[in-house]
Amino acid sequence: MRIAVAKEVQEGERRVALVPESVPQLVQTGHEVWIETGAGVGASCPDTAYEAAGAMIMTDDAQWGDIDILLKVAPPAERCGKPEIERLRPGAVLIGFLNPMGNVSMVQTLARHQMTAFSMEWIPRLSRAQNMDALSSQATVMGYKGALLAANALGKFLPMLTTAAGTVAPARVLVIGAGVAGLMAIATARRLGAVVEAFDIRPAVREEVQSLGAIFVGVELDEETATVGGYAKDVSVSSRQREQEVLHEHIQRADIVITTAQVPGKRAPLLVTDAMVAAATGFSDRRSRRRARRQLCRYGSGTRGDAAWCHHLGPLSCALVNARSC
């Protein structure tokens, strides 16, 4: 089979779907691996590294029609006036982070072209599928980097310091969501010496949060809050209001807020309101780690709040940081 790796055209996307180290595994099983020229440059994987691993560099657009399996990171886009899907032959296979629940038109186009698609973010959370859990690996990178960026932007030490000149109190970090990204953000902030609180509507994650040395902040809701697979579920309006009431109290004394909560396949609910930020007199910095479909807080990318003490650094995409680690 001819397995091709496309160069990502989405703005800011630096990741690549296949690294040179993985090429020999495919070549040794009899497949041809084609790499679109420059596909790995953003992730520090030059064409020469792929060639040394046994791949062929794809330079002619006409070769798209001969691809059996196309590997991508971002959903297919349009390039040179023609959608990437239409460049592939009918019956080809597309694998990547496709966001099918939020891109129905793309799914319909795939169906019209009789193509098979595998969306990496929908691989089930099973023991036998752990080595394919690319979503968790991306979330790990973002949780780690989000905590570091927030620490860098905060105008104070994170750990408690006791010196001859006096004592500096530790920074307080609130992490919203205790999934993979949230747990990594908690662990990173704790290693930096901060006092960490973690909010989640799923009581089952309390033990994981406390094992990392953080304080668990829960909320009692009169409905089921997790799916069979362990993901958080969307809740009713009244339950969401209860969440905001609990968060309001903890945000007021936080120096950093890292938002990671999500509902698979849906836009995340608004949890951090303008009123919360306005009332947070001790709020020095806010690190919102959001991806597409998320609306955990109202502030946009790189914006500053009405007061000089509120600085928003998100949304943070894995595409922009640690591309090689992804």
Annotate 248-292 with three-state secondary structure: HHHHCCCCEEEECCCCCCCCCCCCECHHHHHHCCCCCEEEECCCC
Q: Which residue among the candidates 10, 136, 252, 325 is catalytic per the annotation?
A: 136
Q: Which residue among the candidates 2, 22, 190, 231 is catalytic per the annotation?
A: 231
Which pair of tokens denotes residue 277?
A: 């930020």
Counting runs of H as helices and runs of E as strands, what totals does the chain give?
Answer: 9, 15
Contacting residues for 223 by C-beta, under 8 A, at least 6 apart: 235, 236, 239
Residue 139: how many other CB atoms lie within 10 Å? 24
**234 among known catalytic residues:** no
Q: Which residue among the candidates 25, 44, 130, 295 is catalytic per the annotation?
A: 130
Q: Which residue among the candidates 66, 68, 133, 234 is catalytic per the annotation?
A: 133
| CA–CA gap between residue 8 and residue 17 (Å, rounded) | 9
SS3 (DSSP) at 246: helix
**231 among known catalytic residues:** yes
* φ/ψ of residue 265, rounded to 5: 80, 0
Q: Which residue among the candidates 63, 66, 125, 234 is catalytic per the annotation?
A: 125
Residue in 301, 303, 288 with CA at minimum distance from that of residue 182: 288
What's the one-letter identity of residue 180?
Answer: V
SS3 (DSSP) at 53: helix
**136 among known catalytic residues:** yes
Q: Residues with catalytic annotation?
A: 125, 130, 133, 136, 231
